């Protein structure tokens, strides 16, 4: 009897709370799930934007960052996709890594289980060579690769199936040659390998190559974006060399599917305002974070395109 009473009470309070949430979101702390360990790039991005989102959500909005690392992000992303769609569970998703996992078909969620809210960061991939390298351009690299008896080795900071690996697969198809990817599993080791000249070439994200490229310790011979980056205007793009390779890592915020439209709108607006906050902008510029805001609909279109592209690649060259 007491048990039943308490259940009724609990139900009543839940109903009351949802009612209140509808009226004045957010009424309680919002959990922002980060699928990577504290201190990593996504975690830092989440913790910094959370402070400014609180400011623009108004009232006493509070956002708690919860790290659920593991399985290349799958644990955290599953938690977002399977969360309660009440607006109090949101999380960072990283395309195209998340799309690749879904395309492989082993995840417990589909892209449709997520409600995209906004994209914040787009960090294009780059191909770099050691400073002493004889390859001055993509053309040199491809010529050398075609002449070589064994496929040229390219280090990547990711694992098998990472966006960089998939970019390499696309690049070798377009250039009609073959590379051997060497998986370093992290940015620091691959950076050290290029710096020390232990690999002939490597891929990483632009933001990770900026500092050492400016010091002249490595050469960026190709940027995988549609246009040259403002942070490194001297570096040519793959498109300029005639290869349509546009790949980058993005960081955006999503919620479980079924979140009320007004909550999505409110979060979307808060993110937009936070990204325009002068204090935040200043810090982001200093840290050279490649910001790229996409509103909910554009972000969804962006994610859909990434999924379609990857499905095509998966059919042609499954990466696992």
Partner 1 sequence: MIDALLHAIPLVFAPMNILAMFIGLIAGLVVGCLPGLTVVTGLAVLIPLTFGLDPLFALGMMAGMYNGGSYGGAIPAILMRVPGTPASVATVLDGYKMTQQGKAAYALQVALLSGVIGSVLSSISLILLSPPLVSFSLLFGPIEYFWLGILGLATVSSLLGDDLPKGLIACGIGLLIGAVGQDISNGTERFTFGQLDLLDGFSAIVLLTGLFAVPPVLQIVEEAVKTGMSGDKLKLHRQGSALSQWRFFTPVWIRSSIIGIIIGILPGAGGSMSSFLAYNEAKRVARNPETFGHGNPEGVAASECGNGADNAASLIPALALGIPGSGVAAVILGGLLVHGLRPGPQLFREHPDIVYGFMLQFLATSFMLALVGGLAATRIFGQVLRLPRIVLAPVILLFVTIGVYSVNNSLFDLWVLLGVGLIGYVLERLDYPSAPIVLGLLLGPMIESQLRLALTISGGNTSALVSTPIAVILALLSAAILLTPAWRLFRQRRTAAA
Q: Which of 27, 54, 74, 123 binds partner 1 (CB under 8 A)?
A: 74
Q: Is 296 left (phi over 0), alpha (psi -120 to 50) or beta?
A: alpha
What is the Cα–Cα distance from 171 to 6, expressed in whole angstroms? Answer: 61
Cβ proximity to partner 1: between 198 and 269 the closer is 198
Residue 316 tokens read as: 């042609």
| Closer residue to partner 1, CB minimum distance, 19 or 186 | 186
Residue 195 as a binder of partner 1 (CB under 8 A): the answer is yes
Judged by CB under 8 A, the stretch of 71-79, 220-228, 249-257, 295-303 that binds partner 1 is: 71-79
Strand partners, 95: 250
- Contact pattern from residue 115 through residue 154 relative to partner 1, giving x for each residue in contact according to CB under 8 A and a dash for the rest: -----------------------------------x--x-
Per CB under 8 A, 68 contacts partner 1 = yes
| Rounded-to-integer distance, Cα 229 and Cα 218, Å | 17
Under rule CB under 8 A, residue 291 binds partner 1:
no
- Whose Cβ is closer to partner 1: residue 73's or residue 116's? 73
SS3 307: helix
Provide, rounded to whole angstroms, the least separation between the CB of residue 161 and partner 1: 6
Q: Which of residues 207-236 bind partner 1 (CB under 8 A)?
A: 211
| Residue keyed to tokens 């990817």 | 181
Tell me which of 7, 20, 37, 312 binds partner 1, using CB under 8 A: 37
Q: Which tokens hold the place of 230?
A: 């403002």
In terms of DSSP bridges, do strands 89-95 and 30-34 run parallel, antiparallel, or are they unpaired?
Answer: parallel
Q: Which of residues 42-61 bind partner 1 (CB under 8 A)?
A: 44, 47
Find the angle CA(243)-CA(248)-CA(251) to the nearest 5 degrees.
165
- Please select the residue that binds partner 1; options are 144, 182, 241, 295, rule is CB under 8 A: 182
| Beta strands at 179-183 and 63-67: parallel, antiparallel or unpaired | unpaired
Q: Count of residues binding partner 1 (CB under 8 A)?
A: 39
CB under 8 A: which stretch of 84-92, 115-123, 158-166, 273-281 binds partner 1?
A: 158-166
Looking at 82-186, list the stretches that DSSP marks H as alpha helix, in order from N- to C-terminal side.
97-104, 138-147, 163-175
User: Considering beta carbons, is residue 76 or 116 the nearer one to partner 1?
Assistant: 76
Query: Do 160 and 167 form a contact (C-beta atoms < 8 A)?
Result: no
Spatial separation of the C-alpha atoms in residues 140 and 201, rounded to whole Å = 12
Residues at the contact surface with partner 1, assessed by CB under 8 A: 37-40, 44, 47, 66-72, 74-75, 78, 150, 153, 159-161, 180, 182-186, 188-189, 191-193, 195-196, 198-199, 211, 319-320
């Amino acid at each position: 009897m007491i048990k039943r009473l308490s259940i009724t009470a609990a139900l009543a309070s839940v109903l009351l709370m949802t009612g209140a949430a509808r009226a004045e979101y957010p009424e309680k702390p919002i959990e922002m799930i980060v699928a990577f360990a504290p201190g990593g790039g996504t975690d830092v991005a989440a913790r910094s934007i959370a402070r400014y989102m609180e400011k623009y959500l108004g009232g006493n909005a509070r956002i708690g960052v919860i790290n659920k690392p593991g399985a290349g992000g799958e644990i955290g992303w599953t938690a977002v996709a399977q969360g309660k769609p009440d607006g109090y569970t949101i999380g960072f998703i990283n395309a195209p890594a998340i799309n690749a996992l879904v395309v492989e078909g082993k995840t417990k969620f589909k892209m449709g289980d997520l409600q995209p809210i906004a994209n914040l960061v787009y960090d294009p991939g780059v191909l770099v060579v050691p400073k002493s390298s004889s390859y001055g351009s993509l053309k040199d690299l491809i010529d050398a690769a075609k002449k070589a008896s064994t496929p040229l080795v390219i280090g990547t900071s990711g694992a098998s199936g990472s966006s960089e690996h998939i970019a390499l697969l696309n690049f070798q198809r377009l250039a009609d040659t073959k590379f051997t990817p060497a998986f370093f599993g992290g940015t620091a080791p691959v950076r050290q390998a290029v710096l020390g000249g232990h690999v002939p070439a490597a891929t990483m994200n632009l933001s990770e190559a900026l500092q050492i490229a400016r010091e002249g310790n490595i050469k960026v011979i190709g940027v995988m974006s549609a246009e040259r980056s403002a942070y490194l205007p001297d570096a040519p793009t793959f498109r300029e060399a005639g290869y349509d390779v546009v790949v980058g890592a993005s960081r955006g915020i999503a919620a479980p599917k079924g979140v009320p439209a007004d909550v999505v709108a409110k979060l979307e607006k808060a993110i937009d305002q936070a990204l325009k906050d002068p204090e935040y902008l200043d810090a982001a510029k200093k840290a050279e974070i490649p910001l790229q805001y996409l509103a909910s609909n554009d972000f969804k279109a962006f994610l859909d395109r990434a999924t379609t592209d990857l499905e095509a690649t998966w059919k042609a060259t499954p990466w696992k």
